[in-house]
């Protein structure tokens, strides 16, 4: 570089139109990856500005050093005694070290340390200039971008990128950094809007980029600025119509990724289409046409939508008419599909599910529907016997809407269309709602099924998938999870805990030999799920280790974990945890006991008598609380054992030479562990200082 004053560096990768849904994440990844590479190269800068449009990814790296700092190099060679022979001549070891340092022996120095004396080589390595460092770093950063399906273009091109690259800009201040990036030569020429300014724009310097693109090229390069412009334009339109937008942040990001010069326009469609289900209209507008639906203040859809054009037209009415025609065609198709689907009931479609493969080794969706119906009935009988018939019926019909024209065209409406068709067929409302809700939650943070019938079918669907996929040994490995088993397991956890459902899943699994593996798979999701609540993994382990030996009720486990978190805040907690650890260790070393019954005549010391009496006094209380699942009260009662336990361990020798006394004291400790195990195995808890930061979760 010609000077050593930090300048701003502009990097622009010009491409064919980039995928709008992933544009923002690509730009963010590009900025982060290059940032880390610059830091690793010891190039300092004050900040990075990110730009992203359909035809470009760009970064403005502010006040970037023009070269690396010089680095002091030290290499330790052979020990001094091995560097010279008895005649004080250099040994082969010393000569080899000098060659490896590319220097002469006379340039080497001696290093004296308390551990001995060594030969050392010291030098000052000049920092490399930016124009030498940047090209390989940039190529590496672009190659490392998270691109699902990279493209290859040109004749015999081996270059891969998300879309074909058409130009590269590399400007450091006013100076071009000449290089070849992914086979494209860098320059100072960028491109404006494809229609408003198809000619090249010559950038005099890096800082002129954003301003010149906007003023000359009709391109708003800043993604967030463009997004705000769209939001403001939409807001202005809906205020004029005294309406409100049916908003989606994801759609706004996608539309921002589609345009470089946004112009929002209001378009009207035929009111007759308002008779279609609300979700059909919204899906047609948002998902298929990337438009924003409007509704009035009574939450009723209006016959309008807002589209965002990529050009300023002298005749915007033509753009409006064109969008209206496209939407009319789309909604006419939807109306035809809906009316055609309503001619055949869901029940009549059931037999045709035999033609749809669920998994080659596991049969078809008809088989799966039968299994879901049986499971849903069993689950509903546990939850509330009054719901079992509706749950069974919904389980049988829940996949039939997959065969409809509407779901074939709008796959995102599966379940939702089943609800409308079930209502049209005269099915019970609870059946229709369960069909609608059984896919919920579809993703992290999604809403849960509403009714108990819906929960039963949702759980049955997920459990059936887990059981059967495990039965053919298709367990997820690494990032591969084609059947979404991890998502299914998390869905089960969320439904039973957040809907406060007591369900013994082990009882549901009683006829499935693979059940233990499935239960462990579901339980393996618990630590990460509870991390959001500030509940550490040892609390989860203390409960799960105990429960997996008996019934598996995840909501019951949740109540225990909340109680354990409260218990850990008690001043007596650490001593009680330590007492449980000590008791468990002693019993482990001297197992098995001949009897766990305590012989009162062998209680010879006051401290063991006091402990036994204290345990007797709270046992009935603990048993009553256990039946009612009052786990905080159980642990509060057990905390009263703190003082007699402490005195017992301080004054009583458990491993007495008298075997009868020893076994009796061990039996006393065994009974102590049984009392504590009514909630959890607290011997697995550690001394955490961060428990006070756990989020408060109220499920009392």
Residue 305 has pLDDT above 70, yes or no: yes
- Rounded Cα gap, residues 383 and 638, in angstroms: 31
What was the pLDDT predicted at 5? 84
Distances (CA, A) of 248 to 23, 245, 283, 293, 590: 17, 9, 12, 10, 64
Closest CA relative to residue 129, chosen from 11, 41, 35: 41
Residue 699 has pLDDT above 80, yes or no: no
What was the pLDDT predicted at 507? 83
Per the rule left: phi > 0, alpha: psi between -120 and 50, beta: everything else, 183 is left
Mean pLDDT of 639-648: 93
Residue 693 has pLDDT above 70, yes or no: no
- pLDDT tier for residue 515 given thresholds of 50, 70 and 90: confident
Residue 231 has pLDDT above 60, yes or no: yes
What was the pLDDT predicted at 156? 61
What was the pLDDT predicted at 416? 97
What was the pLDDT predicted at 36? 95
What was the pLDDT predicted at 46? 95
What was the pLDDT predicted at 688? 58
Tokens of 384: 């509330």
Residue pLDDT, tens place only, 411-426: 999 999 999 999 999 9
The dihedrals phi and psi of 79, each to the nearest 5 degrees, come to -60, 150
Question: In CATH terms, is domain 560-693 a member of 1.10.443.10?
Answer: no
- pLDDT tier for residue 697 given thresholds of 50, 70 and 90: very low
Residue 289 has pLDDT above 70, yes or no: yes
Q: How many Cβ atoms are within 10 Å of 97's Cβ, its own excluded?
A: 22
- pLDDT tier for residue 526 given thresholds of 50, 70 and 90: very high
Residue 345 has pLDDT above 70, yes or no: yes
Cα Rg of the chain (Å, integer) = 35
Residue 692 has pLDDT above 60, yes or no: no
What was the pLDDT predicted at 75? 87
Residue pLDDT, tens place only, 83-99: 888 888 889 888 888 88
Strand partners, 175: 172
What was the pLDDT predicted at 257? 97
What was the pLDDT predicted at 255? 97
- pLDDT tier for residue 3 given thresholds of 50, 70 and 90: low
Residue pLDDT, tens place only, 169-194: 999 999 999 999 998 999 999 999 99
Residue 159 has pLDDT above 90, yes or no: no
Mean pLDDT of 224-241: 95
Q: What percentage of the chain has pLDDT greater than the value 70?
A: 97
Strand partners, 612: none
Residues 6+ apart with CB under 8 A from 294: 238, 241, 243, 244, 245, 246, 301, 302, 304, 305, 306
Per the prediction, the chain carries an average pLDDT of 91
Residues 6+ apart with CB under 8 A from 252: 227, 230, 231
Distances (CA, A) of 350 to 346, 430, 554: 7, 19, 33
Residues 6+ apart with CB under 8 A from 434: 390, 391, 394, 395, 398, 449, 451, 453, 454, 456, 457
For 505, the enclosing helix (H) or strand (E) is helix 505-508
Query: Long-range pairs for 291-294 at CB < 8 Å and ≥24 separation?
Result: 291/267, 291/323, 291/327, 292/234, 292/245, 292/246, 292/247, 292/251, 293/245, 293/246, 294/238, 294/241, 294/243, 294/244, 294/245, 294/246
Residue 513 has pLDDT above 80, yes or no: no
For the chain, give percent helix, strand, coil, nearest 5. 50, 15, 35
What was the pLDDT predicted at 175? 95
Residue pLDDT, tens place only, 678-690: 999 999 998 755 4
The answer to whether 652 touches 608, Cβ cutoff 8 Å, is yes
Q: How many Cβ atoms are within 10 Å of 632's Cβ, its own excluded?
A: 18
3-state SS, 114-159, equals CCEEEEEEEEEECCCEHHHHHHHHHHHHHHCCCCCCCEECCCCCCC
Mean pLDDT of 403-413: 96
Residue 376 has pLDDT above 60, yes or no: yes
Closest CA relative to residue 246, chosen from 255, 236, 234, 261: 234
The answer to whether 209 touches 220, Cβ cutoff 8 Å, is no
Fold held by 347-524: Hypothetical protein af1432 (1.10.3210)
Residues 6+ apart with CB under 8 A from 193: 217, 218, 219, 260, 261, 310, 311
- pLDDT tier for residue 66 given thresholds of 50, 70 and 90: very high
Domain residue ranges in the chain: 7-67+129-215, 71-125, 239-341, 347-524, 560-693
Residue 168 has pLDDT above 80, yes or no: yes
Distances (CA, A) of 110 to 118, 255, 509: 6, 67, 74
What was the pLDDT predicted at 72? 81
Residue 266 has pLDDT above 80, yes or no: yes
């Amino acid at each position: 570089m010609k000077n050593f004053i930090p300048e701003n560096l502009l990097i622009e990768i010009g491409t064919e139109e980039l995928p709008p849904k992933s544009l923002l994440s690509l730009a963010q990844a590009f900025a982060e990856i290059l940032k880390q590479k610059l830091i690793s190269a010891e190039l300092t800068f004050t900040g990075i500005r990110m730009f992203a449009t359909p035809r470009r990814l760009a970064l403005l790296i502010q006040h970037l050093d023009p070269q690396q700092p010089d680095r002091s190099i030290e290499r330790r060679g052979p020990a001094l005694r091995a560097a010279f022979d008895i005649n004080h001549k250099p040994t082969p070891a010393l000569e080899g070290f000098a060659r490896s340092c590319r220097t002469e022996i006379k340039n080497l120095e001696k290093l004296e340390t308390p551990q001995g004396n060594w030969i050392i080589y010291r030098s000052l390595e000049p920092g490399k200039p930016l124009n030498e460092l940047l090209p390989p770093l940039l190529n590496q950063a672009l190659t490392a971008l998270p691109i699902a399906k990279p493209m290859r273009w040109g004749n015999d091109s081996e270059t891969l990128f998300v879309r074909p690259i058409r130009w590269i800009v590399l400007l450091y201040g006013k100076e071009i950094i000449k290089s070849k990036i992914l086979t494209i030569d860098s320059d100072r020429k960028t491109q404006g809007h494809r229609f408003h300014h198809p000619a090249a724009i010559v950038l005099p310097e890096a800082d002129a980029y954003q301003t010149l693109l906007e003023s000359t090229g009709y391109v708003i390069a800043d993604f967030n600025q463009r997004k705000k412009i769209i939001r403001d334009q939409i807001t202005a339109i809906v205020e004029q119509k005294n309406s409100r937008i049916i908003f989606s942040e994801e759609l706004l990001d996608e539309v921002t990724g589609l345009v470089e010069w946004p112009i929002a326009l209001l378009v009207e469609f035929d009111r007759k289409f308002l008779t279609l289900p609300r979700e059909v209209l919204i899906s047609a507008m948002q998902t298929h046409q990337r438009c924003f639906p409007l509704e009035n203040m009574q939450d009723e859809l209006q016959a309008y939508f807002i589209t965002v054009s990529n050009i300023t037209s002298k005749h915007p009415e033509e753009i409006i008419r064109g969008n209206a025609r496209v939407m009319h065609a789309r909604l006419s198709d939807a109306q035809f599909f809906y009316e055609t689907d309503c001619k055949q009931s869901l029940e009549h479609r059931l037999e045709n599910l035999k033609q749809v493969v669920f998994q080659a080794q596991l049969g078809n969706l008809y088989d799966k529907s039968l299994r879901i119906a049986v499971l849903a009935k069993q689950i509903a009988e546990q939850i509330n016997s009054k719901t079992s018939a509706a749950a069974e019926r919904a389980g049988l019909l829940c996949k039939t809407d997959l065969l409809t024209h509407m779901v074939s065209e709008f796959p995102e409406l599966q379940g939702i269309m089943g609800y409308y068709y079930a209502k049209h067929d005269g099915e019970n409302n609870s059946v229709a709602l369960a069909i609608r809700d059984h896919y919920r939650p579809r993703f992290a943070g999604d809403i849960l099924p509403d009714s108990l019938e819906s929960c039963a079918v949702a759980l049955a669907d997920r459990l059936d998938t887990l059981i059967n996929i495990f039965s053919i040994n298709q367990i997820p490995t690494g990032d591969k999870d084609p059947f979404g088993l991890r998502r299914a397991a998390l869905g089960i956890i969320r439904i039973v805990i957040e809907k406060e459902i007591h369900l013994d899943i082990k009882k549901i699994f009683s006829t499935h030999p693979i059940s233990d593996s499935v239960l462990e798979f579901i339980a393996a999701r618990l630590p990460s799920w509870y991390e959001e609540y500030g509940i550490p993994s040892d609390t989860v382990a203390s409960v799960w280790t105990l429960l997996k030996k008996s019934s598996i009720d995840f909501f019951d486990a949740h109540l225990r974990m909340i109680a354990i978190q409260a218990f850990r805040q008690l001043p007596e907690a650490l001593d009680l945890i330590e007492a449980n650890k000590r008791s468990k260790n002693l019993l482990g070393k001297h197992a098995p006991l001949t009897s766990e019954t305590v012989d009162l005549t062998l209680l010879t010391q006051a401290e063991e008598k006091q402990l036994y009496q204290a345990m007797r006094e709270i046992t009935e209380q603990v048993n009553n609380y256990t039946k009612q699942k009052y786990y905080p009260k159980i642990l509060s009662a057990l905390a009263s054992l703190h003082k007699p336990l402490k005195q017992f361990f301080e004054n009583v020798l458990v491993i007495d030479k008298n075997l009868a006394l020893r076994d009796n004291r061990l039996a006393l400790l065994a009974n102590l562990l049984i009392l504590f195990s009514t909630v959890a195995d607290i011997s697995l808890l550690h001394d955490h200082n961060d428990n006070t930061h756990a989020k408060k979760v109220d499920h009392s």
